[in-house]
Amino acid sequence: MTISTPVVALITGASSGIGEETARRLAREPGIELVLVARREDRLAALAAALPCPATYVAADLTDDDAPARLRAHVEEVHGGRLALLVNNAGASWRATFGDGGYENVRRTMAINFDAVLRVTEALLPLLRASAPSAIVNVSSTAGRISRPGAGAYSASKFALAGWSDSLYAEEREHGVHVGLVLPGFVVTEGFPADELRAKPHTRWMVSSADKAAEAIVETGLHGKAERYVPKPYALAAVARILLPGLVRRAMGGGAGQLYTTKTGADRQDG
């Protein structure tokens, strides 16, 4: 499926990292108009002004009750209700074991990584259907296929997003709305510099860049790909989880599985 122009695309978490790079990559597409969404209005304004295409923005915390309605109203009022691509990229992670973080850590992680995605999609789905052929790209994570110690809440939210995306794809196909899934591994962003991984030759291959994740989003959103891992070899880990679950559990319980799990605190990735 190829979406025809003109294309209005809405990107959440657009003020930094994967979201910002996705905006810059999409801005090169012919006939594109962008709606940038994140919490930091100053960054959104600067990005919108720098892009070589029409771009508007909405400063919003997607966990706020009125955020989905605000996004829909903006698209209707400013872009005539046209919406050909929704990129659900905003997310966050608070690293903690379940014994330390408990339900509260799971709740707040699910609120931004899963619940907010559903609420935004629910609000904008009528516009996507009316603009069909159109597409939704949900940015999950390799952690949505394989869990690491200290990242259980994050993995739970991304597993949920991946499962829901598969169902939504089947449900919306008849309405002309494609649903794609992008599963980044370790991607260098403002909140995740990955210095330790990049410093070691045997782990450097595990780290990718935000521009490659953005390219995967374009492939799934504008060109109808079902699913993309970034970097691509991470797909082998997901296969191994199915075929060799015991081995993967042992591997993730130590070594690479321990990377970045001893810190605590918030790592908002949504800008």
Indicate if the alpha-carbon torsion angle 140, 32, 84, 70 is positive or negative: positive
Contact status, residue 26 vs residue 46, Cβ threshold 8 Å: no
**Residue with tokens 């260098």, as numbered in its chain:** 188
DSSP assignments along 72-108, one per residue: HHHHHHHHTT--SEEEE---EEEE--HHHHHHHHHHH
229 is a catalytic site residue? no
Contact status, residue 184 vs residue 213, Cβ threshold 8 Å: yes
How does strand 227-230 pair with strand 177-184?
parallel
Q: Which amino acid is at 238?
A: A
Active-site residue identified among 57, 103, 154, 169 = 154
Give catalytic residue positions: 154
